[in-house]
Amino acid sequence: MSSESATDLRPALTRLSDDETAFRDAVAGFATDEVKPRVQEMERAGRIDPALVEQYFAMGLMGIEVPEQYGGAAGSLMMVALAVEEVSKVDGAAAIMLDVQNTLVNYPINRYGSETLKAKYLSRLTRDTIGAYALSEPSSGSDAFALSTRAEQRADTWVLTGRKMWITNGAEAGIYVVFANTDPSLGYKGITAFIVEREMRGFSVGKKEDKLGIRASSTTELILDGVEVPRDNVLGPVGQGYKIAIETLNEGRIGIGAQMIGVAQGALAAATAYVKERHQFGKALAEFQGIQFQLAQARTETEAARLMVYNAARLKDAGEDIALEGAMAKLFASQVAERVTSISLELFGGYGYTKDYPAEKFYRDAKIGTIYEGTSNMQLQTIAKSMLR
């Protein structure tokens, strides 16, 4: 698909191309027909239904931006955002698997991988293998570049030793983009990216976290106990891992923004339908002006966040640097999701606090948006630095 130039971005904000509209509608139908009926069971089981994952691959949703020669759809980041948004309207957990696959795994391999690596791994990631992105560690969260995982070169291999934490898709993945330091004396300039396979000796998946929200999405520890990684599995130049990580997270924040606006829209739609049906004092809740104003404010903020996410995606597809726009979109979308899901839950009254209605799940799923792929404070720092430099 062709990218729009930077000068065309503003008029593009309020419309989608015919291809994008058809794609969005197809994903929306899939989310309603296939994802929604599985939500509660996946929530209880704490895992994504494998049959649903198979459908993700069959529909091409696990390789949206990947070139056709590697089995992908040759689409755009905008299309990734649309897919994540639509699935998030029914389940943020099911959506984050798509997001991580496309923005944090496929993207850096396609952007920085050799032809050999792209042919070997992207073909699997678009066909049948889930991926994960491993940067965070027990002692390096927001300060991601204080990581302690080490990579030591030995002949034709690199030996990785350390632990990773908070790894989305960790339980299901077969391919991991892992960051380790090849020379601690160089600080962040020693950080290097590697492609690690689950079957490599010394690699194992550790504890799976028991989380507040997005419970069907796995979040795990990874244990690297002298994992021998072939020299050719270095992703990008040695010592350039910090650059790859930052650029990848910039793209990933668009996906999180899309997830949050989807969650907000799902919660708002449920609350809007409920207040039309629920009667108090002889009339529907929707007839009370106080209720109407709450819904109007929530809709306005959600639409503003949506346009910020779309704008950042358009800019990225046009080849622009989106460090600032991505940070603002992710920050605002996650803040809006918190507010809108909270209001939506309250509009359900006591019922909203029970698992009989979807409001409480949307509320729990929204909180993670202010934490992962850079906390809100880290986004504010990025925005401030851009303003003051």
Spatial separation of the C-alpha atoms in residues 382 and 135, rounded to whole Å: 19
Reply yes or no on whether 373 is catalytic.
yes
Of the candidates 85, 86, 137, 373, the residue annotated as catalytic is 373
Which residue is it, tokens 């990581």?
147
**Cβ of 41: how many Cβ atoms within 10 Å?**
11
**Do residues 106 and 125 lie in contact, with contact meaning Cβ atoms separated by under 8 Å?**
yes
Active site residues: 373
